[in-house]
Structure 1
């Protein structure tokens, strides 16, 4: 008799951007549960609950984690990397990478030359897409420009959108995959915005599982994730999420993010 696999949680918190988008993630999680024979409990862990609390759970089965905090953990403390998404968007170039869109108000007359002198918004300090990416972009365009006025934490893309809509900031950064999901399912949310630039790519946030789960459970979940694109119903779910599929994460790529963050700090010399 086959031993039942350990139950676990699934959470799309990082990309759980609206009820309509959540439905698509739930479809994926239900598919993964059936395919892997792992009983997945879908939880929202909605903002403002700290993501760090979610990532510390011993029952994580399929949970999105930003690559930057993942990279800062010692190897023996990291959750198990299961899979990295590959977006259908042009900016992915068919690779498991993402970027951030630098956004301003749709009716603002700003161009790239104006950006160093504007009010910048940021989400949280341990975010690659909402903090390191815009700082890196600023460092590349600012030269010796004085420190920008910054506003944060804005927590997530919704906070950036609202801050621009209410004129609390002039410019912010939104995870390009989050932007893609909103374009697919909630285009009205993006109505106040105009993309003025896109940052350098970085390794895509990855799906992770807890190290405390049995190896058999994590292996079954990983196999199911890597197989989604091979079935017609799986491909339909992926299309609704703007994804081509999932691939094995290149852990060494994430390991480069702390050095990249330090280079940003050095280039800005305390200006942000």
Structure 2
């Protein structure tokens, strides 16, 4: 079985993810579940999502409901203590260069956007939803470049490769704390609507008894005072058991944008 916590794993946070996972694995092993001793950082998070032996990972909410190739079960939903994010919800911050004279989203028509991935909820889906209000059912940008990560999207804007990007608020908080130079010269011009945070997931084939154990262990870990420092390093303030029903709203956002004449970020 494998485990991955790669979605929020800035180099300065890796010790915290390792500490959280060690606590989870020890508790699972105590009840007879052969949890891996270490997180798998050798494979991409996307590869982890498709692994039939996935025990636990975090998954972007949009591919969870939009990619028919994913066969995952939602275990729980995290709460993050970052600006602008209610419990169990997060937003994207649309960042532009400080020196850019544009003062609203409409002023970026004909400019260049950066996205982390076309399937990213915070990098593209929420961005598309916001743009649908100003695109007037027509292509909005001169070009859209895919960068591979929120950090690289911020870099693309800073260096002039792009003019605007949507950055996940939790990633933004990590960069602001641990790598402020990555956000130097940028400002937030708009904020998307909130959506559910990245869920903890397991392979659909994981036995229901193991799913129940995962939920119990996550609830225990998030309240363990010995892990307070690790949780604070990850901005993690809570984890609540959940199913996947709340993520249907993300697919609805995409369909609503299409109904407004803006089916893809362009």
Measured against the shorter chain, the TM-score band is 0.7 to 0.9
> Which residue among 50, 56, 67 is the counterpart of 1:62?
56
Task: Tell me, yes or no, if structure 1 residue 268 matches structure 2 residue 261.
Answer: yes
Aligned residue for 1:255, secondary structure, equals helix
Task: Tell whether the 8 Å contact from 1:104 to 1:171 is kept in structure 2 after alignment.
Answer: yes
Provide Cα deviations, 1:184-217, integer angstroms capped at 9, x if missing partner: 3222222242111110011111111112333333
Task: Tell whether the 8 Å contact from 1:32 to 1:224 is kept in structure 2 after alignment.
Answer: yes
TM-score by length of 1: 0.86
**Offset, 1:77:** 6.3
> Which residue among 39, 42, 46 is the counterpart of 2:39?
42
Q: Kindly tell me: are residues 88 and 202 of structure 1, through their superposed partners in 2, closer, same or farther at Cα, counting changes over 3 Å?
A: same
**Offset, 1:45:** 4.3
- Report the counterpart of residue 72 of structure 1 in structure 2: 66
- Report the counterpart of residue 3 of structure 1 in structure 2: none
Match runs of 1:210-221 below 5 Å: 210-221=203-214
Task: Tell whether the 8 Å contact from 1:45 to 1:54 is kept in structure 2 after alignment.
Answer: no
- Report the counterpart of residue 252 of structure 2 in structure 1: 259
Task: Tell me, yes or no, if structure 1 residue 53 matches structure 2 residue 47.
Answer: yes
Aligned residue for 2:22, secondary structure, equals helix
**Offset, 1:144:** 6.1
- Report the counterpart of residue 28 of structure 1 in structure 2: 20
When structure 1 is superposed on structure 2, of 222-231 and 199-208 the one drifting more is 222-231
Give me the whole-angstrom Cα distance separating, in 2, the residues matched to 1:155 and 1:31: 30
Give me the whole-angstrom Cα distance separating, in 2, the residues matched to 1:219 and 1:83: 10
**Offset, 1:132:** 1.0
Task: Tell whether the 8 Å contact from 1:161 to 1:192 is kept in structure 2 after alignment.
Answer: no
Give me the whole-angstrom Cα distance separating, in 2, the residues matched to 1:219 and 1:236: 26
Mind listing any 5+ residue stretches in structure 1 that lack a counterpart?
Answer: 1-7
Mind listing any 5+ residue stretches in structure 2 that lack a counterpart?
Answer: none
TM-score by length of 2: 0.87
Match runs of 1:33-182 below 5 Å: 33-37=25-29, 38=33, 39-40=35-36, 41-45=38-42, 49=44, 51-72=45-66, 78-93=71-86, 95-112=87-104, 113-143=106-136, 147-182=140-175
- Report the counterpart of residue 4 of structure 1 in structure 2: none
**CA RMSD of superposed structures (Å):** 2.3
Query: Matched residue pairs, number?
Result: 259
Q: Kindly tell me: are residues 45 and 152 of structure 1, through their superposed partners in 2, closer, same or farther at Cα, counting changes over 3 Å?
A: farther
**Offset, 1:218:** 2.8
Q: Kindly tell me: are residues 45 and 99 of structure 1, through their superposed partners in 2, closer, same or farther at Cα, counting changes over 3 Å?
A: farther
- Report the counterpart of residue 201 of structure 1 in structure 2: 194
Provide Cα deviations, 1:222-254, integer angstroms capped at 9, x if missing partner: 211122232211333211111211112352221
**Offset, 1:145:** 6.5
Aligned residue for 2:20, secondary structure, equals helix
Aligned residue for 1:152, secondary structure, equals strand
Aligned residue for 2:146, secondary structure, equals coil
> Which residue among 157, 171, 177 is the counterpart of 1:184?
177
Task: Tell whether the 8 Å contact from 2:56 to 2:200 is kept in structure 1 after alignment.
Answer: yes
